Structure 1
Amino acid sequence: MAGRPRTFDRDVALEQAMHAFWEQGYAATTVSHLTRRIGIAAPSLYAAFGDKQALFDEVTELYVGRLEERLDEDLAAPTARVAVEAVLRTAADAFTATGTPAGCLVMGEPMLASRRAATREAVARRLHRAVEAGELTSHEEADELGAYLDTVLAGLEARARDGADTRELQTAVTRALRAWPSSTPASA
């Protein structure tokens, strides 16, 4: 016998689980919390997703896929300055978007350090290409800008979790962009 058919929308369930992990973190999110949030019994959760870790892994892949798609678009800007601005402005909007928890699942979850490192590496590659294109003066400058950008992103994420709105974060981005080296082109 094949069992009863699924009576919930798997995609909606994944979104609900994503929000639960995003709001509370992996460690604080229990299977009981997930089943209440999704609106299914524990056996249905296990049958559909496996255990909590398997569900978290699937949620992470979904979230990171969306994140990487937008990051790739932002980093493809014609200059590094425009790319960095796009990354920061996209983050400010995403961290305060209506209908999602504040902040960022990847930045807020200790278990996702490798994902954060992958984002830093993508930004670093873009900044190092800017050196080769003459937009930045040295690889040391690119590394410093990368570290600065990572710090600004972490600050934006923390402020969003603490209740800052989009306007406040966008104002912070405008201020942060004033740190762009004056010896480089301001925009493309």
Structure 2
Amino acid sequence: MAGRPKIFDENVVVEKATSVFLDKCYDATSADELLAAMGIGKGSFYLAFQGGKQELYQRSLQQFSDRFSGKLETAIANAPNGIDVIKSYFYAIAEGNKATKYRGCYLGNALVQLSEKDNSTREIAARLLGRLQEIFTAAVRKAQAAGQLKTTADPELIGLHLCNFWNGIHVTKRMGKSPKALRALVDLNLQILS
């Protein structure tokens, strides 16, 4: 006998939960807050997410990463010079508004917050951040082959540097640094992309 049919779109409710996790982080988010944001009851929640809050969080990380990575890959693929896209993304972080100031990098936050107590979530976050590194590496490799970069440094090392900086600038932004200071930091860190 089939259970009750779902009357909600799982992708939509995961996106709503992501907003709560971004604002409050995993540990500080209660089940009641998630249910209220998602607009579903407990029964529907546990039917869709049998692993509870942890499963929802992991699905949230995956969905967030898929959307972000997809947009970044598409933007790089459609640009005459993918390195310009990468630079623009970093400058956008520096210029970000106050609403995003304390959110930081969702995947980086997950990796740091849960690394000691939740191996499966840590592994998911690390894999998803690794995907970001691969995107950076591929863009660098392509730009080097096209003569758009002077540097002959290893593309994998540059990709790792950019991924590390991606996490780092989000943390530095939380220190209350001004957009001017953050732009200068971006300038310095992106000298490797010349």
TM over 0.5: yes
More helix by share: 2
Cα offset, 1:114, TM superposition = 0.6
Return the alpha-carbon distance in structure 2 between the equivalents of residues 100 and 49 of structure 1: 30
SS in 2 for 1:120: helix
The answer for unaligned runs of 5 or more in structure 2 is 112-121
CA change 1:91–1:33 in 2 (3 A) is same
SS in 2 for 1:109: helix
CA change 1:104–1:52 in 2 (3 A) is same
Give the aligned partner of residue 14 of structure 2. 14
CA change 1:2–1:144 in 2 (3 A) is closer
Q: How do residues 36-75 of structure 1 correspond to structure 2 at under 5 angstroms?
A: 36-38=36-38, 40-50=40-50, 51-75=52-76
Q: Which moved more, 1:156-165 or 1:118-127?
A: 156-165
Q: How do residues 33-112 of structure 1 correspond to structure 2 at under 5 angstroms?
A: 33-38=33-38, 40-50=40-50, 51-76=52-77, 77-92=79-94, 96=97, 98=99, 102-110=103-111, 111=122, 112=125
SS in 1 for 2:150: coil
Aligned CA RMSD, in angstroms, stands at 3.6
Cα offset, 1:124, TM superposition = 0.8
Return the alpha-carbon distance in structure 1 between the equivalents of residues 82 and 4 of structure 2: 55
CA change 1:101–1:58 in 2 (3 A) is farther
- Alignment: residue pair count: 178
Give the aligned partner of residue 138 of structure 1. 152
Scaled by the length of structure 1, the TM-score of the pair is 0.70
Cα offset, 1:36, TM superposition = 4.6
Residues 1:173 and 2:173 are matched in the alignment: no
Identity rate of aligned residues, in percent?
23
Does the 8 A contact of 1:80 with 1:126 survive in 2? yes
Q: Which moved more, 1:123-132 or 1:163-172?
A: 163-172
Return the alpha-carbon distance in structure 2 between the equivalents of residues 165 and 26 of structure 1: 27
The answer for unaligned runs of 5 or more in structure 1 is none
